Amino acid sequence: MAQYKPYLFLLLLVPGFSACTDRQAGDRDKAKHDKPKERVKARLEDCIYRKDTLFDATSSLKYVIRDTFYDVRVQLENKDTMLGYRFDCTVPQGLVPAFYAYHKHTLCLLRGSGQSYREFTICYIHDGRMMVKYYETALAAKLEEDLVVYQDYNEPRKIIMEDIRTEQQKIVKLPGSLTNTAIIRTRISKNKLVIELANEQQITFRR
């Protein structure tokens, strides 16, 4: 009759037991590593107040969570780009780009509030590529005419009307006699640009 030595049986079990232990430890480490990410993702989901927008089957605006931050993705005519932000839950919502206007695969996003800080991000397709332009001192936009209006950063009295695609400009100036050039509202009509100032004055320029 064959005799089996107990220690040989134990030696046979040890490698399998060791592999099982390693897998369990790895699973625990992975779970520990994943839980903080899951918590961060859950917090980000709770603090994104902007809403995704579907314009048509080929164009959309989405707020995308990426690990510990979220970014803004724009898709136009099935071409898409990330705008490169790294927002977390501490960012003021006014600094997160929001939908402003859309017309035939041209999208304008706005961030900021009032006229003290308004930035337009305008995205459109040109020669099959996504183009992204930023206007820090934005006043108004009329996308159906490819028109954006903004103040000159260094000379606020100077108002620039610019073709988004060709970048051709028409420049007008607020009167030098004005003591307060703070702009409250800007309206673009068929052939006029109307600017309302903080002192209740209204100035109209022909376009």
Supply the DSSP symbol for 155.
Answer: -
Token code pair at residue 5: 């030595």
**pLDDT confidence band for 117 (50 / 70 / 90):** confident
User: What pLDDT, on the 0 to 100 scale, is given for residue 11?
Assistant: 41
User: What pLDDT, on the 0 to 100 scale, is given for residue 62?
Assistant: 97
C-alpha distances in angstroms, 201 versus 33, 161, 175, 187? 60, 20, 11, 14
Closest to 104 measured CA to CA, from 84, 121, 124 = 124
pLDDT at 46 > cutoff 80:
yes
Instruction: Identify whether the C-beta of residue 149 lies closer than 8 Å to the C-beta of residue 186.
Output: yes
Mean pLDDT of 122-126: 96
Closest to 43 measured CA to CA, from 69, 62, 25, 64 = 69
pLDDT at 96 > cutoff 80:
yes
pTM for this predicted structure? 0.78
Token code pair at residue 36: 């903080």
Domain ranges in the chain are 22-136
